[in-house]
C-alpha cells in the first residue's frame, strides 16, 4: 500500500454479537446466569437489534461501511435439543438479505460466548457431545444460509471463552477448574474442525466459496517485571497456552503445552482459510500463586506508570505498536488476516477516534511491511451489553439510549466513515 491507501476491496466495517445487541435471548446460558443474579445487570432488551436490524444497517450504510460481522444465536435456532425454529432461521435469512441489499458483506459467527441452556444443562462444552451438537447446528444453519455467506467465524475467541467461563468463572457455568478448561479447549477445537469440514462440504457451484476461521483474540503478553526471569518465563508460557497452542492445533493438528498435555487432533489440521484477529491491547503477566488460574496473574496496570501511559474506560492498556506487532507475527502463518474486532470503550469520544486512527496506522504499517490484511471490523457498531460489566462501557460508534432505543451517531463514527469511504487513512498532525 502507498499514500495511506488500503488494498482494493478492503472490508471496512464493524462487529456485534447476538446476545450483546439482540435482546431477549431467553434460551441461552448467559440469560440464565443473569436471571440468577450472577451479574449486576441483565441483558434484557439490549439494543433491540433483533427488531431494529434494518435501521442499524442503514446507519452502517450512511457510515460507508462495506462489511458487517454479527453472530447467529444458537439458542434461538435450537431452543430445545433437536427442536429447530424455522422462524429464527428465517430471521437470519432476512438479516443476511438486508446486508446484501445494502452491499454489506456478511461475516457470520456461529458461536459468540452463549450456549443453549439445554446443552449447558448437560455439561455444556465440557461434555464431548457438544462437538456433535455444534456440528448439527452448523449443518442446519448452512443448509439455509450457506449460499449467501462467504466469511464464516466458527467460534469467537475460544481461549477467552475458556478463561472467562472455566478459569476465572465470570460467566456461566462460573467454573474455576483447569481440567474442565482443558476439555473445553479440546472440544472447541474439535467443534471448529467439524464445522470447517461441513462448511466446505456444503459448497456448491454458484454459492460463495466458504472462507472459514475462528476469531482469535491474540493479545501481546508482556512481563510485568521484565528483568525477572520468572515473569519472562510465565509470560512465554501464557502466550503458549493462550495463543500459540491453539493456532498450532488448527494449523498442524496438535495442541501441545509442556507440563499440561499433548493432544493430537488430526481433523483440525489445516482448518483455517484466513485468520480472524481480535485485538484490544497488551496484557501484563507476573508470576504469582493464583489458585484457579492457569495463566500467570495479570498485573494491575497501575504498577506500570512508565509503560502504560494510556488506558481505556475498562482500564485496559492502549498500545497500537502491539497491534502492529501482533499483525506482523500472525501474518507469518501465511494466511490472510481479517481484523474481526478492535475497539475501545471510552467516555470521551475524541479519545475513541484517537484510538482508532492510531490502530489503523499500525495496521497500515503492517500491511506495508507485507501482512496480508483483508479487512477491519471496529468493535462495535452500537453500544451494547458488555457481559459481566453490563451496560456501563460504551464501545459503540453509535451511542444507544437504552431507555428510548434512540441511536445517535458519534463523531468518531463520521471520521471512521471517511476512511471507509475513501479507503485511505490521512495522517493527522
Ligand atoms: C468479545 C466481545 C466483547 C469485546 C469487548 C471481545 O473479547 O468478543 O464480546 O464485547 O471483546 O470486551
Mean pLDDT score, 193-217: 95
Q: Which atom of ligand 1 is nearest to the CA of 386?
A: 10
Residue of 204 and 273 predicted with greater confidence? 273
Q: Is the pLDDT confidence value at 394 over 70?
A: yes
Cell of 162: 475458556
SS3 state of residue 201: helix
Q: Is residue 295 part of a domain?
A: no
Mean pLDDT score, 164-186: 95
CATH of the domain at 24: 3.20.20.80
Q: Is the pLDDT confidence value at 44 over 90?
A: yes
Q: Is the pLDDT confidence value at 3 over 50?
A: yes
Q: Is the pLDDT confidence value at 304 over 70?
A: no
Q: Is the pLDDT confidence value at 297 over 80?
A: no
Confidence of residue 153 (pLDDT cuts 50, 70, 90): very high
Q: Is the pLDDT confidence value at 296 over 80?
A: no
Distance CA 257, CA 268 (A): 17
Q: Is the pLDDT confidence value at 292 over 60?
A: no
Q: Is residue 313 part of a domain?
A: no
Q: Give 257-288 pLDDT, tens digit per residue.
A: 999 999 999 999 999 999 999 999 999 888 87
Q: Could you tell me which of 283, 278, 394 has the C-alpha nearest to residue 342? A: 278
Length of the chain: 429
Q: Is residue 312 part of a domain?
A: no
Give residue 309's pLDDT.
83
Distance, CA 29 to ligand 1 centroid (Å)?
17
**Pocket test residue of 158, 283, 387, 388 for ligand 1, highest count of atoms within 8 A of CB:** 387
CA atoms within 13 A of residue 227's CA, in its CB half-sphere: 0
Give residue 6's pLDDT.
98
Give residue 151's pLDDT.
98
Mean pLDDT score, 376-405: 98
Cell of 281: 491491547
Q: Is residue 232 part of a domain?
A: no
Write the CB contacts of 143 (distance below 8 Å, at least 6 apart in sequence).
202
Mean pLDDT score, 418-422: 98
Residue span of the structural domain in which 110 resides? 2-220+272-280+321-422
Q: Which atom of ligand 1 is nearest to the CA of 280?
A: 11
User: Considering its fold, how many domains does the chain have in total?
Assistant: 1
Distance, CA 343 to ligand 1 centroid (Å)?
9
Q: Kindly list the distances between the CA atom of residue 141 and the CA atoms of 85, 112, 133, in Å, as whole numbers in the listed order.
A: 11, 15, 12
CA angle, residues 131, 137, 142, in degrees to nearest 5: 125
Mean pLDDT score, 48-58: 99
Give residue 291's pLDDT.
43
DSSP 277: E
Q: Is residue 289 part of a domain?
A: no
Q: Could you tell me which of 75, 89, 253, 70 has the C-alpha nearest to residue 152? A: 70
SS3 state of residue 5: strand
Give residue 225's pLDDT.
85
Query: Is the separation of the CB atoms in 14 and 69 below 8 Å?
Result: yes
Q: Kind and range of the H or E element at 285? A: strand 282-286
Q: Is residue 234 part of a domain?
A: no
Mean pLDDT score, 350-361: 98
Give residue 2's pLDDT.
57
Q: Is the pLDDT confidence value at 341 over 70?
A: yes
Protein residues with CB under 6 Å of any ligand 1 atom:
17, 20, 156-157, 160, 217, 278, 341, 379, 386
Query: Is the separation of the CB atoms in 214 and 156 below 8 Å?
Result: yes
Q: Is the pLDDT confidence value at 307 over 80?
A: no
Q: Is residue 136 part of a domain?
A: yes
Share of the chain above pLDDT 90, in %: 88
**Pocket test residue of 313, 341, 383, 395 for ligand 1, highest count of atoms within 8 A of CB:** 341
Distance CA 55, CA 53 (A): 5
Q: What average pLDDT is seen over the chain?
A: 95
Q: How many C-beta atoms lie closer than 10 Å to residue 232's C-beta?
A: 17
Q: Is residue 195 part of a domain?
A: yes
Q: Is the pLDDT confidence value at 294 over 70?
A: no
Amino acid at each position: 500500500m502507498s499514500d495511506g491507501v488500503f488494498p482494493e476491496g478492503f472490508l471496512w466495517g464493524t462487529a456485534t454479537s447476538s446476545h450483546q445487541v439482540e435482546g431477549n435471548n431467553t434460551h441461552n446460558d448467559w440469560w440464565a446466569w443473569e436471571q440468577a443474579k450472577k451479574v449486576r445487570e441483565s441483558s434484557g432488551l439490549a439494543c433491540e437489534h433483533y427488531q431494529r436490524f434494518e435501521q442499524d444497517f442503514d446507519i452502517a450504510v450512511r457510515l460507508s461501511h462495506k462489511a458487517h460481522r454479527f453472530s447467529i444465536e444458537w439458542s434461538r435456532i435450537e431452543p430445545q435439543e433437536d427442536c429447530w425454529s424455522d422462524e429464527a432461521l428465517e430471521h437470519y435469512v432476512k438479516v443476511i438479505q438486508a446486508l446484501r441489499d445494502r452491499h454489506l458483506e456478511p461475516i457470520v459467527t456461529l458461536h459468540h460466548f452463549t450456549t443453549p441452556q439445554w446443552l449447558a444443562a448437560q455439561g455444556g462444552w465440557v461434555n464431548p457431545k457438544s462437538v456433535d451438537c455444534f456440528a448439527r447446528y452448523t449443518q442446519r444453519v448452512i443448509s439455509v444460509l450457506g449460499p449467501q455467506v462467504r466469511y464464516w467465524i466458527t467460534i469467537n475467541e475460544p481461549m477467552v471463552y475458556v478463561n472467562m467461563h472455566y478459569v476465572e468463572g465470570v460467566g456461566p457455568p462460573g467454573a474455576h477448574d483447569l481440567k474442565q478448561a482443558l476439555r473445553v479447549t479440546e472440544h472447541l477445537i474439535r467443534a471448529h474442525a467439524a464445522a470447517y469440514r461441513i462448511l466446505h462440504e456444503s459448497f456448491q457451484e454458484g454459492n460463495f466459496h466458504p472462507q472459514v476461521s475462528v476469531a482469535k483474540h491474540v493479545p501481546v503478553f508482556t512481563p510485568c517485571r521484565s528483568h525477572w526471569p520468572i515473569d519472562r518465563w510465565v509470560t512465554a508460557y501464557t502466550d503458549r497456552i493462550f495463543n500459540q497452542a491453539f493456532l498450532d492445533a488448527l494449523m498442524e493438528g496438535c495442541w501441545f503445552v509442556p507440563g499440561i498435555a499433548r493432544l493430537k487432533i488430526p481433523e483440525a489440521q489445516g482448518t483455517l482459510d484466513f485468520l480472524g484477529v481480535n485485538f484490544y491491547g497488551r496484557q501484563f503477566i507476573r508470576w504469582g500463586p493464583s489458585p484457579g488460574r492457569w495463566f500467570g496473574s495479570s498485573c494491575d496496570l497501575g504498577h506500570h506508570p512508565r509503560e502504560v501511559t494510556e488506558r481505556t474506560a475498562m482500564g485496559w492498556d492502549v498500545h497500537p505498536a502491539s497491534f502492529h506487532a501482533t499483525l506482523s507475527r500472525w501474518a507469518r502463518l501465511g494466511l490472510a488476516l481479517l481484523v474481526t474486532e478492535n475497539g475501545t470503550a471510552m467516555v470521551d469520544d475524541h479519545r475513541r477516534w484517537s484510538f482508532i486512527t492510531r490502530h489503523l496506522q499500525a495496521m497500515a504499517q503492517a500491511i506495508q511491511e507485507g501482512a496480508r490484511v483483508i479487512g477491519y471490523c471496529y468493535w462495535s457498531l452500537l453500544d451494547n451489553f458488555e457481559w459481566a460489566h453490563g451496560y456501563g462501557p460504551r464501545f459503540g460508534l453509535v451511542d444507544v439510549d437504552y431507555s428510548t432505543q434512540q441511536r445517535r451517531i458519534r463523531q468518531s463514527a463520521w471520521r471512521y466513515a471517511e476512511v471507509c469511504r475513501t479507503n485511505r487513512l490521512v495522517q493527522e498532525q
